[in-house]
Structure 1
């Protein structure tokens, strides 16, 4: 009955039917690739796809459309991407995950931090130690220079994760969030090996 009132739609393309249609599942099955960004991220960054098609769809579904179920699927995709990078020798086996920070208000509005949820659904050790101060503004409409200025001194760390870690975010655009996150962790002595994102814009 619920499906008749609120039919399930594919998180990738919006087509009525399953949580993810077969076409979007195929799009999401690619291997992670190295990306560069305007801002130096201090460690290598790997992305699981472009910010387009199914990859863009699941990010928007998680962040803007309240689709909590797709976070579990995204976690499985992240786990597969990490396994691939481990097999290639790009990251050490068993590295912990550090979700990139988000504004507390954004996390509350989205039913919890989507990136942290994806990390935990990957089944990997997750260290949610990064936070943004209340002074940080929404980054979506800011330029690369403004994003760096917005994050300067505003990434807080509640503890240094042990062992090797990988910073995870949903989208890399300018690299400002990853730079600020990695810089904060490195300054405190963390062993940051790489960053992994669901999409690269």
Structure 2
């Protein structure tokens, strides 16, 4: 009866009867691929897949259509990808890339943070630590080229809470910046730079999709 009133639709392919089908889950289950954005953040970048197909549709559904249920399968896919790359003898800290505050308010929260929390819950000795935020004057990056994106973000990504995040990071921890999509690499590069200035060394960037 509930399916008749509020039918479930797969966030990756649109098939009815499930929020996330086995085929779409399979499309994000392979080993991560290396991403090489035009703005180099100075650390290796990895993606679960290209910005196409089920991955692209799921990211857009989570961001633009309030599909909060997709945090669970996207977080699990991120956890599987991270598990194949991480060191086994060190704690893992996942830092969600910051979103514009206005966008997060419009979406009723940050879908990247939700997926990161799920991913951390699947991995042993792992925590999600939101260390970064943005200033209110950051523009929407849609339509901006690499240079404009860098200019838009320079100095506008800040430590969350206004204090250096170093104490949140054990000296032997692996720190991975996590985002949904990497396009030009501007957000990743500025985030890595800000964290480095605060004494936090980022080992890698992991995203759901690379554009």
Task: Tell me if the contact between 1:164 and 1:190 (Cα under 8 Å) persists in the aligned partners.
Answer: no
Q: Match for residue 105 of structure 2? A: 108
Task: Tell me if the contact between 2:27 and 2:54 (Cα under 8 Å) persists in the aligned partners.
Answer: yes
Q: Match for residue 37 of structure 2? A: 37
Number of equivalent positions: 198
Q: Match for residue 48 of structure 2? A: 48
Q: Distance in 2 between matches of 1:8 and 1:37?
A: 35
Structure 1 ranges of 4+ moved more than 6 A: none
2:130 aligned with 1:120: no
Q: Match for residue 144 of structure 1? A: 146
> Among 93, 98, 101, which residue is 2:95 paired with?
98
Could you tell me which runs of 5 or more consecutive residues in structure 2 were left unpaired when the two chains were aligned.
none
Task: Tell me if the contact between 1:172 and 1:200 (Cα under 8 Å) persists in the aligned partners.
Answer: yes
Give TM-score, length-normalised by structure 1: 0.94
Could you tell me which runs of 5 or more consecutive residues in structure 1 were left unpaired when the two chains were aligned.
none
Q: Match for residue 168 of structure 1? A: 178
State the Cα RMSD in Å: 1.4
